[in-house]
A and B are shown apart, each in its own frame.
Chain A
């Protein structure tokens, strides 16, 4: 602690210069005093090391951006302008070159998301359940009839071109298998349409021109000064908003355990900044 008080002013300056220093933007004189402080200060030296290391870790993420699901553009367009070009349609249908396992997971995710959301609750009627049951039943029947063992399923290529080869090579049962897949895909998009039909239609930008008179700020919306910690100081004993839909938890259980947010950790460094 005595060191901190001794270098108090210098430490603050060091922090202020940190970003520019990392980007090599410091003048020669400033760089010298920055380096001098780094060498002698027991707090700022390790801090610089941590900041550099953290930046390196983050760069490793930046090098490999995550590829969005292939149907994202299609879904966005369907939810906004409602106009989907043939180019996007083709990309949505043919862009599925990911391994079977991932496609199956993605399909299951979107299926379960559509299925378990309250907005699609009405499709949970017995006749729908029966239809889906029948699809899975005939799907597995077709698979076993075609001599496909469960462990072989991972090697099955679902691209239409590959399936056409299979059609030429193998028995007619394989065609039935393909038809079932297509049928499932069509059912899936029907469920999406039903779901979309339940959400209010978006007005086009041209219909909102009159709003411009009221909003000349060029800002996307009125609620501007938002922050995450607005509610931090208010103890919340229980929160269940009136009218909030009770979503079945099944959806979250499918893919990932979403990591919880911890705020306590920042307390260790708050002292050092701002």
Chain B
């Protein structure tokens, strides 16, 4: 059976009240959703909370999923993305109040990426895909604007195609492509700048 058919069947069983079918859906998709949330939000605590919120929302609205209107993963990504927007707005508000309370430095370069990387003594070899390298790319990813970050996460980490991403983000395909390329270029420049400072 094809993936779409399997999922369609699971959704129908689940809407009919089959708890085992719901568990199967959770087992199938939790890694993917957790990874999107982790790469977007930046840390494990927020990623866990967000992933749980995504599934709570899915559980509530599963009966509105229409297989005829698109792939299940696109539907799930739309839910995830909406919650990420809410999370971003909320955390942005928190940060504004935080900075008013405490930090005199209004710029984000209080602890620049280069310092964090210098501490780790990273080899300046882009081919070394060590844990430290991934950590560094992850940190740089957090510096991208949310629009660019979500676009590259969905394309380059989740391997979704442009059409699916455009549907999930509700923007034209051309805009998706543009954001993805901007995000990639921005990330490369951030990492290059970092390396120059480290060396």
| Contact across chains for A239 and B97 when beta carbons are under 8 A apart | yes
Q: Mark B13-33, 1 if CB is under 8 A from A, else 0.
A: 011110110110011001100
Stretch at the interface among A131-139, A146-154, A172-180, A209-217: A209-217
Nearest Cβ in chain B — how far from A160, in angstroms? Answer: 23
Q: Compute how far the CA of A215 lies from the CA of B75 in the bound complex, rounded to whole angstroms.
A: 15
| Contact across chains for B22 and A80 when beta carbons are under 8 A apart | yes
Q: Compute how far the CA of A217 lies from the CA of B64 in the bound complex, rounded to whole angstroms.
A: 8
Q: Compute how far the CA of A77 lies from the CA of B157 in the bound complex, rounded to whole angstroms.
A: 26
User: Counting CB contacts under 8 A, is B159 at the interface?
Assistant: yes
User: Counting CB contacts under 8 A, is A33 at the interface?
Assistant: no
Q: Mark B143-186, 1 if CB is under 8 A from A, else 0.
A: 11111100010001101001000000010001101111111111
User: Counting CB contacts under 8 A, is B51 at the interface?
Assistant: yes
Q: State which residues 185-220 of A face B: CB under 8 Å.
A: 202-206, 208-209, 211-212, 215, 217-220
Of the residues B17, B64, B95, B137, contact of A57 by C-beta under 8 Å: B137
| Contact across chains for B157 and A51 when beta carbons are under 8 A apart | no
Q: Compute how far the CA of A19 lies from the CA of B82 in the bound complex, rounded to whole angstroms.
A: 26
Nearest Cβ in chain B — how far from A256, in angstroms? Answer: 5
Nearest Cβ in chain A — how far from B35, in angstroms? Answer: 5
| Contact across chains for A68 and B31 when beta carbons are under 8 A apart | yes
Identify 19 residue pairs between A and B in the complex whose beta-carbon atoms are under 8 Å apart, listed by A's number. Answer: A18-B181, A54-B152, A54-B186, A57-B137, A57-B140, A73-B27, A73-B30, A75-B48, A79-B56, A80-B55, A81-B19, A215-B64, A218-B70, A223-B82, A251-B45, A261-B92, A261-B108, A261-B142, A265-B186
Besides A206-B17, A239-B93, A269-B186, 4 other A-B contacts (C-beta < 8 A) = A80-B56, A109-B45, A209-B15, A218-B75
Which residues of B are in contact with A by a Cβ distance under 8 Å? Answer: 14-17, 19-20, 22-23, 26-27, 30-31, 34-35, 38-39, 41-48, 51-52, 55-66, 68-70, 75, 78-79, 81-82, 85-86, 88-89, 91-93, 95-97, 100, 108, 111, 126, 129, 133-134, 137-148, 152, 156-157, 159, 162, 170, 174-175, 177-192
